[in-house]
Amino acid sequence: MLSKPRKVMLIDDNEVDLKINSKIITISKLFDEIIVCKSGEDGLSYLSEHTDDPNNLPDFILLDIQMPEMDGFEFLEIYKNFPDPVKEKCIIAILSSTLDFGDIKKAEANPLVIKLLRKPLFPKELEELLRKYFIL
């Protein structure tokens, strides 16, 4: 079990959803800080910048699938090559509205993804998931 998570990273191209999910996380008080990324590239550059700075790495990443240019799966392909300490610290769940069977199976099969959460995000569901990995 990991200690109480502090930072969460949201990766989503949809600004409305970024706003809604930030707000939901703020109200539910599950994290102290939210790192908002409007694309997979943004997320990756933040992570590479702070690779050796665990204090600034997110404990948890909520990743969208459908994004222009780099989609969630492409993000994961690159993230796979990050050093192990980063991957051990930053736990990833997918947060998507997809109903595409292929997308769902692909997400579930990815070893880096702990769960596929469906939009809209329910704070209770998020909390239950976090409890399996962190001491809240």
Partner 1 sequence: MNAPTVRVLYIDDEENNLHAFKAGFRRQYEIYTAISAVEGLKILENVAIHVIIADQKMPQTTGVEFFKSITNTFPDPVRILLTGYTDIEALADAINHGDIYRYITKPWNDLELHNSIKNAYDAYKAKIDLRNKVIELEKTNDELNRFIYSISHELRAPLVSAMGVINLVKMEGLYESCGEYWSLMETCSNRLDYYIQKTLQYYKNNKTISEHTNIDFSTLVPDLIELYSYSDKETHFNVDIKQDVPFYGDSFRIEVILGNLISNAIKYQKTEETHKKVGISILVKKENAELTISDNGIGILNEHLEKIFTQFFKSKTNHGSGLGLFIVKEALNKIHGKISVSSDPLEGTTFKIKIPNVK
Which residues contact partner 1 (rule: CB under 8 A)?
Answer: 14, 16-17, 20-21, 23-24, 27-28, 66, 97-101, 119-123, 125
Give the residue with the Cβ less far from partner 1, 52 or 122: 122
What is the smallest separation between the CB atom of 121 and partner 1, expressed in angstroms? 7
What distance in Å separates the CA atoms of residue 13 and residue 2, rounded to the nearest whole number? 29
Give the residue with the Cβ less far from partner 1, 47 or 67: 67
What is the smallest separation between the CB atom of 55 and partner 1, expressed in angstroms? 29
DSSP bridge pairs for 93: 62
In order of 98, 105, 115, the CA distances from 34 in angstroms are 23, 28, 20
Sign of CA dihedral 32, 132, 50, 38: negative
What is the smallest separation between the CB atom of 105 and partner 1, expressed in angstroms? 9
